[in-house]
Amino acid sequence: MTTCLPVATKPVRRPGVTTVLRHAGIVAITAYCLAPFYWMTVSAFRRPTDQFSLSVLPHQWSVANFMAVFKPDVGFQRALFNSLMVAGSTTALTLLLGTLCAYALARLNFRFKNLAAAAIIATSMFPGISLVVPLLRIFTDIGWINTYQAMIVPSLSFALPLTVWNLTAFFRQLPAELEEAAMIDGCTRGQAFRKVILPLAAPGVFTTAILVFITAWNEFIIALSMVNKKDMQTATVAVSRFTGAHGFDQPYGTQMAAGVLVTVPLVLAVLIFQRRIVAGLTAGGVK
């Protein structure tokens, strides 16, 4: 005859007040950050006749605003190409110059090194609007108004301090013995940098490239000031000057649709590469 022993059950632990408050805080911050993007997306899918509706979801979903954005007379495709051209060129040039500068600050010893590093970070403190007037005067004199370089060169100056400081911290955490071993084997310092250090610093370079591209893609003040031709406008400027689908109505819905088209690629890039971005940003913090 067998007897059934009672099975011991583990007591159910209820979440404490601290856990509940922590989760509530995360939900509140997430909702606060995503609310503008959600409202922009929902407004983009409303019918033009419902564009000022305050309902949480559209009564009837419509893509009329997106179709209006891509009408030939709007020129939004050209604006997207201009943004891609400016952001891509700025990212490539920033990485080329910033990587060399960061390596010099991290590895080489020279006079006024700390002063040079302080000057680089100080330039990032200048507000962009304070540079518009002198840049406009200079670019007018040399004939750069309505050109790509009038938008790329100022964006380069804004992105370089971030690039240099981010990559300097990354290079400093790499052991110097790696370069010394490469130079003992016959490499020059340049070859050691190119064949040994640069591949190891790829996560930091990749993270910096994404941040610089996002910054250059969203730039507005310089692009608005240095360009007055419609076919040279970037996407951010084109959205601000949108005339709407019918030319005489308030272009709220089409502006929201254009905003979604400009924002979605960046959001997808951050979501896809979020682990690399976090790893790259925190890599230089611990030795």
pLDDT (tens digit, 9 = 90+) per residue, 61-83? 888 888 888 888 888 889 999 99
What residue type is assigned to position 243 of the chain?
T
**Over residues 24-36, mean pLDDT:** 92
Q: Convert the chain into a string of H (helix), E (strand) and C (coil).
A: CCCCCCCCCCCCCCCCHHHHHHHHHHHHHHHHHHHHHHHHHHHHCCCHHHCCCCCCCCCCCCCHHHHHHCCCCCCHHHHHHHHHHHHHHHHHHHHHHHHHHHHHHHHCCCCCHHHHHHHHHHHCCCCCHHHHHHHHHHHHHCCCCCCCHHHHHHHHHHHHHHHHHHHHHHHHCCCHHHHHHHHHCCCCHHHHHHHHHHHHCHHHHHHHHHHHHHHHHHCCHHHHHHCCCHHHCCHHHHHHCCCCCCCCCCCHHHHHHHHHHHHHHHHHHHHHCHHHHHHHHHHCCCC
pLDDT (0 to 100) of residue 86: 94
pLDDT (0 to 100) of residue 84: 92
Lowest model confidence (mean pLDDT) among 6-10, 108-112, 182-186: 6-10
pLDDT tens across 120-173, in order? 888 877 777 888 888 889 999 999 999 999 999 998 888 898 889 888 888 888
Residues 258, 238 contacting (CB under 8 angstroms): yes
Looking at per-residue confidence, does 247 or 231 come out higher?
231
pLDDT (0 to 100) of residue 92: 94
pLDDT tens across 91-127, in order? 999 999 999 999 998 888 888 888 888 888 888 777 7
Share of the chain above pLDDT 70, in %: 89
**Over residues 1-5, mean pLDDT:** 52
Residues 205, 95 contacting (CB under 8 angstroms): yes
Distance CA(173)–CA(102), nearest Å, equals 12
Looking at per-residue confidence, does 72 or 41 come out higher?
41
Residues 66, 285 contacting (CB under 8 angstroms): no
Q: Is the pLDDT of residue 282 over 70?
A: no
Give the CA count within 13 Å in the CB-facing half-sphere of 75. Answer: 17
pLDDT (0 to 100) of residue 29: 94
Distance CA(75)–CA(193), nearest Å, equals 44
Q: Is the pLDDT of residue 244 over 60?
A: no
- Of the pLDDT bands very low, low, confident and very high (cuts 50, 70, 90), residue 183 is confident
